Structure 1
Amino acid sequence: MFQTMTMPPTLDPARHALFLDFDGTLVELRDDPQAVAIDAAELDRLVELQSRLSGALAVLSGRRIADLDRFLAPLRFAAAGVHGLERREAAEDDVVHLAGPSILDPVREALRQPLEAEEGLRLEDKGTALVVHYRGRSELKTRATVIVEDAVRGVPDLAVMHGHDIVEIHVAGMDKGRALASFMTHEPFLGRVPVYLGDDTTDEFAFAEVARLGGVGVKVGPGESAASHRLAAVDSVHRWLALEADAGGEAN
């Protein structure tokens, strides 16, 4: 169902854990995924919030953790990349890969010729996931979907997900909701109430898990959602984060 614009509740540093999507939540969507950027002041707020929450801040994204590290440096943070197939469960931990890239080799080969023949479609190979982009070419959505469905046919244990101008293939049994649930089983997240911000259909898995845990889901932007609250756009997210960071400064 569609909710009206409802501001998220104020974060309680002793009680809440904050989970953030990246594209469309912390940064605006771009035709070129490598062209995104986050302002230094916005990054400083994340550093402040991570400290206030005693480290209970994580970024959950379809991107690889290595890409998130590059965009958010020097912040070091807990993260789930490729919808949870890559995991860093605490800021100081190493990245753990839950699947290897070879499982997708048959699909890589099946996608090669159809994508070469279809101008306007682009393949992003994340190793443990393959993403067909049609950003700026919405008329190619159906064609992209057909190409992907043909490529995965007969290959077991794979999932196909649709997001903003993409069709993504990765190993079945993992999504942002399951990744969030895993974070919540250990410190510094254990025993806290999750607050999750995301903008895409892939974030609905996390919203469902947050609701199950009695937490707060915040949909960024328009569209139907299972989230309990809503913010209008990326700039609204950063205004809310600024209020939370400033509240910490006032408390000190």
Structure 2
Amino acid sequence: MFFNPVRTSGQPPVIDPSGDALFLDFDGTLIEMADHPDLVTVESELIAHLGELQRACSGALALVSGRRIVDLDRFLAPLRFSAAGVHGLEQRLEPEGASEPICGPEMLDEARESIRAAIAAVPGLNFEDKGTALVLHYRTAPELDETAKRIMRDAIAGRDDLVVMDGKRVIEVHPAGMDKGRAVAALMQRPPFAGRRPVFIGDDLTDEHALAFVREQGGVSIKVGIAQTCAEFRLEDVAAVRRWLGLRT
């Protein structure tokens, strides 16, 4: 997936609200990471500014996150956005529309039982069941990296309909065939996104599919942080993202 970028530093181009479609990751991009996913802080100023951007772009702003859409709504209330949750396994094409899962949670039942049994004797692993995805967090116990990966690999042994995906001190099992790039591609087929220049910004390995798709489409691909990437541009951290979006920090 990775290739040598033409440009990996310097300020990305200024957003054009009349012609751009904005696709924004959440954790590590709009907000700082936390030791537990429920402990993040979303300031009222950020929520208000996202609402202003949504209106300026005539609704062409979507959140593309590993989180469930219902959790994004909870953090960003009272606002709602078009969204792809759980890396595209949930989709909401319109802000006031319904969230549609790509698959049901039952296909993960065997893996779910395997993971629960395996982590019972491993303090430091935090299990999150998203319904359509199963996640192990180990931000407070990085030494458990290989243990977490082994547990997840074992949970889907012999299955070609499930995949393991790595992130920053997190590892996830979910159905094969969907990622953030495909989620962005689906949104770009519909108004108000269709016909606009796609802009995606994200910080994690899980964002690379979307960064690659946007770059292939001639859009603006922005990596947050210093990790290897296929993105054309970089921003240093969450504070830099907010400044680029026009929010005073």
Band of TM-score, shorter chain: over 0.9
2 CA distance for matches of 1:92 and 1:137?
A: 39
Paired letter, 1:239? R
* Residue aligning to 1:248: none
1:113 matched to 2:134: no
1:152 partnered with 2:171: no
Aligned length: 244
**Could you list the runs of 5+ residues in structure 2 that have no partner in the other structure?**
none
Alignment deviations for residues 66-94 of structure 1 (CA, whole Å, 9 cap, x no partner): 00000011111100000001000111211
Q: Is 2:13 aligned against 1:9? A: yes
Amino acid across the alignment from 1:57 = L
Correspondences of 1:35-184 after superposition (within 5 Å)? 35-184=39-188
Is the 1:5–1:232 Cα contact (8 Å) retained in structure 2?
Answer: no
Partner of 2:245, secondary structure, is helix
Could you tell me how far apart the structure 2 residues matched to 1:116 and 1:29 are? Answer: 25
TM-score, length basis structure 2: 0.95
TM value normalised by structure 1:
0.94
> Equivalent residue for 1:200?
204
Q: Aligned partners of 1:168 and 1:112: how far apart in 2?
A: 13
Match of 1:31 among 31, 35, 42: 35
Q: CA RMSD in A?
A: 1.3
Select the structure that is richer in helix: 1
Counterpart of 2:192?
188
Deviation at 1:4, TM superposition (A): 4.2
Q: Secondary structure at the match of 1:117?
A: coil
Superposed CA offset, 1:133-183 (max 9, x none): 111211110111111101100223011100010110001000000000000
Among 224, 231, 234, the residue aligned to 1:230:
234
* Counterpart-to-counterpart distance in 2, 1:119 and 1:40: 35
Segments of 5+ residues of structure 1 without an aligned counterpart are 246-252
Q: Distance in 1 between matches of 2:96 and 2:140?
A: 38
Q: 1:212 corresponds to which letter in structure 2?
A: E
Moved more, 76-85 or 154-163: 154-163
In structure 2, C-alpha distance between the alignment counterparts of 1:228 and 1:75, rounded to whole Å: 30
- Which whole-Å CA distance do the structure 2 matches of 1:65 and 1:100 have between them? 15
